[in-house]
Structure 1
Amino acid sequence: LRVVAVDGTLVPDPRRRYPGRGAWVHPDIGCLRLAERRRAFPRALRSAGALDPAAVYSFLT
């Protein structure tokens, strides 16, 4: 699942249409939690602050 950062929020991009830098994660809650715990999204997306993953969690459930 590709995710992008939009205004400090992680947004799922299943059709790969959003512009900008994206990061990939398995479409699994466990993988999302692990990536969040390792702070992989701010690093991969080159974001200065924390990103809210609520939209991705709701997409996966």
Structure 2
Amino acid sequence: MEPVRTCVGCRARATRSSLLRVVARDRVPEGQVLVVDETATLPGRGAWLHPSPECFQKAVTRRAFGRALRLDGALDTTTVENRLNGTVNP
């Protein structure tokens, strides 16, 4: 049986394979940046998200990433947003 996780955007439960794991990485001096953990093996706390722009927007609106990852302050989410929208970073 596959593990079940909760999407931080819509709060629906889903199998781990159907969700994206995101983690925060330090990027000095800008602070924390949110990145997609493709292999679900990066160290640290992770948050799970449906790979849809709708769930991403809900999570941003609810400030769910900061709570799920136990972070204070600003969090740069552009990397994850670009990944979900199909935009490639230069």
Report 1 or 2 for greater relative contact order, CA contacts < 8 Å, sequence distance ≥ 6: 1
Relative to the length of structure 2, the TM-score reads: 0.65
> Superposed, which structure 2 residues align to 1:21-40 within 5 Å?
21-40=45-64
Q: Where does structure 1 lack aligned partners over 5 or more consecutive residues?
A: none
Bigger radius of gyration among the two: 2
Question: Number of residues paired by the alignment?
Answer: 61
Aligned-residue identity in percent: 54
Q: Deviations over 1:3-59 (max 9, x none)?
A: 000011100012102100000010001100110000000000000112111100111
List, as ranges, runs of 4+ consecutive aligned residues in structure 1 with deviation greater than 2 Å: none
Q: Which has the higher strand share?
A: 2
Relative to the length of structure 1, the TM-score reads: 0.93
Q: Which has the higher helix share?
A: 1
Q: Where does structure 2 lack aligned partners over 5 or more consecutive residues?
A: 1-19, 27-31
Instruction: Name the structure 2 match of 1:6.
Output: 25
